[in-house]
Structure 1
Amino acid sequence: MLNVDFHLHTTESDGMLTPEELMRCVATAGLDYFSVTDHDTIAAYQRHSDVFAPHRTRLINGIEVSTVSGEREVHILAYRCAGDGELTTLMGDRPALRRARVEHIVGKLSGCGVAITMEAVQRHARGDVLGRPHVARALVQNGYATDVSDAFARYLGAGAPAYVASTTVKAQDVIAAIRHDGGVAVLAHPLRNDAEAEVERLARCGLQGIEAFSPSHQEHDVDRLRSLAAKLGLVKTAGSDFHGPTETRPRPGVTVERAEIDSFLELCGRSSGGRGHAS
């Protein structure tokens, strides 16, 4: 068995832990392999390379890219992509775009009688990339929601009054850029926003994997995703979408049989028999 987590966030996007704090959490959890996959930025790797250096044999570089497929927002995890390739060009100035989105959300909230400011949102961000979790935390702090999940359900989730789509970048274009850059393209949290319905379409566009193992997946979900991966020739990955410790999820990590994720590890340059070299 392996303890892994290929879906972690830091304060460089909407996580609650700095890269240094996250690495301490990774050490406490005893992860065999992991990836930091901040939203639409690789700033953690660029600004904190010294923090990650001691973990290079266990770390697979990553980024979570917001995209659209059909009418759905889907997130694509890009592993082993350099910071100066086609994917970076395609994404453009994501911090500026994300800030504009949050400004739009704050405006829609105001129209609903919910008075929070950009300054209130910014206080919950420690990096350059703003996101809905920062808005959610501001809503909780100002008494408009009981917790982050409640804020998403009431105001911020798809179909809610203050929902604003994050991007118009097409998933197939992002997948093509990842493949061009020599990376590995994986669909994140397939159960969210019914992203699973897009898997066959995305597989035809070059998608290589699916996040089949997650603490949020029931056994029947894993069985279905495992079968879907086998049908489409996709590798399986494991990730908790960890943004910081909670009562129910105090540390990152997903326990899986090595055979379940071996094909993914090999795509990422990890030998079958043990830990490989840094990506």
Structure 2
Amino acid sequence: MKQSDLHTHTTASDGTFTPASNIRRAVEKGLGAIAITDHDTVNGIHEAIIEAKKHEGFTCIPGIEISTLYEGQDIHMLGYFIDYEDVEFLEALSKLTSVRDKRNRMILENLNNLGIPVKESELEAKRHGKGNVGRGHIAEILMEKGIVKSLPEAFEKYLGKGKPAYASTDRISPIEAVQMIKKAKGVPVLAHPGIYGADELIPILSENGLVGLEYNHPDHTRKQVAFYEDLADKHSLIKTAGSDFHGFRNGEVFHGDLGSCSVPISTLDVLRSFRNNACQSAENLIRFNTEHIDWRGRKGLTWDLLNIIGTIAFAISGALVAMEEDYDILGVFILGLVTAFGGGILRNVLIGLPVDSIWEQGLLLKSALASMGIVFFMPESMIQFSKRSLHFFDAIGLSAFAIQGAIAASSMNHPISAVIVAAILTGIGGGMIRDVLAGRKPVVLREEIYAVWALLGGLVVGLNIVNSTVEYMILFVSLVIFRMLSLKLNWRLPHRAL
């Protein structure tokens, strides 16, 4: 599973790489996504998105890092998936730029008073187009003049808080930044909390719309990373991470290189969920993130395994049905994909997850296509064997997706009835769509007790009977066995004819 770096800067603010260069460097480093989060500007986003579209499977998140002030302390607020063309949002950013320029002039005045002459024209020369300039550019000028040897030295001696050239102006509050980001349909996340010394602000912000916490940052110690990870869990905040990449100055990277701090790309699904489903309970969605979509955790591994197993099994079953119906190669692949992903789409619609996240699972799509290709081109003798195994593949897909649907609904704290329905629709959804498109009566509508096994899986998950990956795998295998036994022994549900 690829990683995503959710904090990067470009020449639109105080970075040294162009937006397109950030994207290319991220691709070279094997990342699956980055967020463009320039200071108080969105001018680099359009270029970055255009470049990202040239790289298959890569995602560029439109973002922002807004400068705020809390009791004299600079506080930075990240915003993800913002509507960067929103007129009201752009007007608000314009006011922030004016404040930033005023602060720059104050810093230059302080430097001149210290006997370090820096002209406004020198700082303006660092501006790229309509982008912003700030302390990073001033630090670069000090390096060029030989006053300091590195960016950290510039901040430690002159530009950091409490240092001789530091200046602060009236700015919006962190809560106002949260509201500003939400009005632009974005997701607000507190940036690098470890550098502020203002942890009391986190519960206040969480009660006023904060959605996430950048727990992992290059300037955080290991102890801080662990502390803020726990704090994010305590306040039901999404855990994000980012390198705060600013490029290179004099051969040195400031903060961290791209990818040095990252999160699983699956975190993007949860961030999108907050953007697209603002009416959903924040706590429920966070639980879904922290308990089940974190691929490093045990249940995250379960989700991953079931995704791959179910997708491949249903893709093969869809391909075999299409071949039985004498579809051409395109029809085989279409029916296979519909079977593989149909249940997942129904699950997402049912429990409020973004449907478009289905199509960002590149590994699953490639696995499905490869599986169908193998089935289509295998020797006829092997195809006949596979046809006899159609019910087995169907049972695997039913079991895997039923458990997965139940996990998703349970993680979002839905009642057990909704967990069971999610399990049934996810488990049988792809197969139902497949059979309808193939002109067949869906298996679930026949006499066989097909949906009962999906119902049973939902019940077990909903009652929290299983917790570890091993227990989920035992449940998965058990449902497959029961499904196959019901076929062999011709188990039926009671029925009544009129």
Q: TM-score, normalised by structure 2?
A: 0.51
**Aligned ranges 1:40-189 → 2 under 5 Å:** 40-46=40-46, 49-54=49-54, 58-82=59-83, 83-84=85-86, 86-127=88-129, 128-165=131-168, 167-189=170-192
| Structure 2 CA distance for aligned equivalents of residues 250 and 184 of structure 1 | 23
Instruction: State the identity %.
Output: 31
| Structure 2 CA distance for aligned equivalents of residues 211 and 164 of structure 1 | 25
| Equivalent residue, structure 1, for 2:28 | 28
Local SS of the residue matching 1:173: helix
Q: Which runs of 5+ in 1 are unaligned?
A: none
AA aligned opposite 1:101: R
Of residues 152-161 and 88-97 in structure 1, the stretch that sits farther from structure 2 once superposed is 88-97
Local SS of the residue matching 2:161: coil
Change (3 A) 1:230 1:267: same
Q: CA deviation at 1:257?
A: 5.2
Local SS of the residue matching 1:121: helix
AA aligned opposite 1:252: L
| Structure 2 CA distance for aligned equivalents of residues 28 and 222 of structure 1 | 27
Higher strand share: 1
Of residues 116-125 and 12-21 in structure 1, the stretch that sits farther from structure 2 once superposed is 116-125
Q: CA deviation at 1:198?
A: 1.6
Local SS of the residue matching 2:54: helix
| Equivalent residue, structure 1, for 2:293 | none
AA aligned opposite 1:63: I
Q: Deviations over 1:86-128 (max 9, x none)?
A: 4434333333332222122111111111112122223333243
Checking the alignment, whether the CA contact within 8 Å between 1:5 and 1:34 is kept in structure 2 is yes
| Structure 1 CA distance for aligned equivalents of residues 65 and 241 of structure 2 | 14
Of residues 65-74 and 266-275 in structure 1, the stretch that sits farther from structure 2 once superposed is 266-275
| Structure 2 CA distance for aligned equivalents of residues 250 and 68 of structure 1 | 24
Change (3 A) 1:172 1:105: same
| Structure 1 CA distance for aligned equivalents of residues 143 and 157 of structure 2 | 11
Change (3 A) 1:20 1:182: closer
Change (3 A) 1:261 1:217: farther
Local SS of the residue matching 1:241: coil
Larger radius of gyration between Structure 1 and Structure 2? 2
Q: CA deviation at 1:22?
A: 1.4
Checking the alignment, whether the CA contact within 8 Å between 1:61 and 1:80 is kept in structure 2 is yes
| Structure 2 CA distance for aligned equivalents of residues 207 and 26 of structure 1 | 27
Q: TM-score, normalised by structure 1?
A: 0.87
Q: Which runs of 5+ in 2 are unaligned?
A: 277-353, 363-498
Give the structure, 1 or 2, with the largest relative contact order (CA under 8 Å, sep 6 or more).
1
Change (3 A) 1:195 1:62: farther
Local SS of the residue matching 1:81: coil
| Equivalent residue, structure 2, for 1:13 | 13
| Structure 2 CA distance for aligned equivalents of residues 259 and 49 of structure 1 | 19
| Structure 1 CA distance for aligned equivalents of residues 239 and 169 of structure 2 | 26
Local SS of the residue matching 1:226: helix
Local SS of the residue matching 1:74: strand
| Structure 2 CA distance for aligned equivalents of residues 186 and 236 of structure 1 | 9
Checking the alignment, whether the CA contact within 8 Å between 2:212 and 2:239 is kept in structure 1 is yes
Of residues 156-165 and 88-97 in structure 1, the stretch that sits farther from structure 2 once superposed is 88-97
Q: CA deviation at 1:259?
A: 7.2
| Equivalent residue, structure 2, for 1:264 | 271
| Structure 2 CA distance for aligned equivalents of residues 139 and 247 of structure 1 | 15
Q: CA deviation at 1:263?
A: 3.5
Change (3 A) 1:46 1:274: closer
| Equivalent residue, structure 2, for 1:228 | 231
- Residue 3 of structure 1 pairs with residue 3 of structure 2: yes
Q: Deviations over 1:219-251 (max 9, x none)?
A: 321211111111111111110100014556884
| Of 210, 217, 221, the match for 1:218 | 221
Local SS of the residue matching 1:222: helix
How many correspondences in the alignment? 277
Checking the alignment, whether the CA contact within 8 Å between 2:192 and 2:216 is kept in structure 1 is no
Of residues 97-106 and 55-64 in structure 1, the stretch that sits farther from structure 2 once superposed is 55-64
| Equivalent residue, structure 1, for 2:360 | 275
Change (3 A) 1:256 1:21: closer
Checking the alignment, whether the CA contact within 8 Å between 1:35 and 1:62 is kept in structure 2 is yes
AA aligned opposite 2:213: I
AA aligned opposite 1:3: Q
| Structure 2 CA distance for aligned equivalents of residues 46 and 262 of structure 1 | 21
| Structure 2 CA distance for aligned equivalents of residues 130 and 57 of structure 1 | 29
Checking the alignment, whether the CA contact within 8 Å between 2:26 and 2:33 is kept in structure 1 is no
Root-mean-square deviation (Å): 2.7
| Equivalent residue, structure 2, for 1:237 | 240
Checking the alignment, whether the CA contact within 8 Å between 1:136 and 1:151 is kept in structure 2 is yes
Checking the alignment, whether the CA contact within 8 Å between 1:236 and 1:264 is kept in structure 2 is no
Of residues 78-87 and 200-209 in structure 1, the stretch that sits farther from structure 2 once superposed is 78-87
| Equivalent residue, structure 1, for 2:258 | 252
| Structure 1 CA distance for aligned equivalents of residues 180 and 239 of structure 2 | 21
Checking the alignment, whether the CA contact within 8 Å between 1:109 and 1:162 is kept in structure 2 is yes
Of residues 216-225 and 244-253 in structure 1, the stretch that sits farther from structure 2 once superposed is 244-253
Higher helix share: 2
